[in-house]
Amino acid sequence: MIASVHVADVGARRAPEVLFKAPKPKAVAGLRHANAGLTAPLSRRVLPSPSFGRVGLVAFWDDGEALDRFLADHPVAERLAGGWHVRLEPLRAFGSWPGLSDGIPTARVVDHDGPAAVLTLGRLRLTQAVRFFRTSAKAEGEVVDAPGLTWATGLARPPFVSTCSLWESSDALSAYAYEHRDQAHPAAIAADRAKPFHRQSAFIRFRPYQSEGHLDGKNPLAGTWLSAT
């Protein structure tokens, strides 16, 4: 199983062609699950500021060949072709999400030397939206200044909410997530465990292994630690 994240500037008029026509597993061979949404920069703001012309897709696949077929001939892939996407191999998962394989390690310590990517995925309980956005704003405010962060974005089409972040190393990611218990990220985890924000959620760490395309004139991974193709 692999995952992919796709982000592209399609314009506000064409964004609904992605948001409301996300690929379905029954119609795309090898697709396990997919969610589309508008993107928003991570920030300290309680209310996100979505980019109405920039859309994203998070998808889970049986293998890379299934993703290749999607990229070759699916209308949504055509809409996203002018942007950027990354292929991801799961290393560690906490929680559950459609399309996620059983048996992925759950331990915090991951035997991985190199860059890492993280997806947080949730189906928001609308009654908890205010708590969620207030708590998330504090954690996002810290992540944007975290050492070792390469790139990050929010992604949502409520009740689906997500973040994607790319890190120079697993050590940098772990330092942000767990090193200081008085920081916002551990506090957000504790708040969610005390009273869950989501009906379903997952935190997944990945090894990014292929990056293609551009955002804002550059590939978020090229020229650092992963070659673009």
Q: Which residues of the chain have pLDDT under 50?
A: 227-229
Examine residue 160 and state whether it is found in any structural domain, yes or no.
yes
Examine residue 122 and state whether it is found in any structural domain, yes or no.
yes
Examine residue 79 and state whether it is found in any structural domain, yes or no.
yes
**C-alpha distances in angstroms, 121 versus 48, 105, 135, 147, 199?**
16, 17, 15, 23, 11
- Among candidate residues 145, 184, 148, the one with its CA nearest the CA of residue 166: 148
Examine residue 222 and state whether it is found in any structural domain, yes or no.
no
- Could you report the per-residue pLDDT of 17-39, keeping only the tens digit for each? 999 999 999 999 999 999 999 99
Examine residue 220 and state whether it is found in any structural domain, yes or no.
no
Task: Dig out the tokens for 180 from the structure.
Answer: 């200081």
Write down the pLDDT at residue 227: 46
CATH number at residue 22: 3.30.70.100
Q: State how far Cα 70 lies from the chain centre.
A: 19
- Look up the domain containing 28 and give its range: 2-213
Beta carbons within 8 Å of 78's beta carbon, 6+ residues apart:
none
Examine residue 178 and state whether it is found in any structural domain, yes or no.
yes
pTM score of the predicted model: 0.91
Examine residue 226 and state whether it is found in any structural domain, yes or no.
no
Write down the pLDDT at residue 157: 96
- Could you report the per-residue pLDDT of 7-21, keeping only the tens digit for each? 999 999 999 999 999
Write down the pLDDT at residue 144: 85
Examine residue 30 and state whether it is found in any structural domain, yes or no.
yes
Instruction: Give the count of domains, the chain.
Output: 1
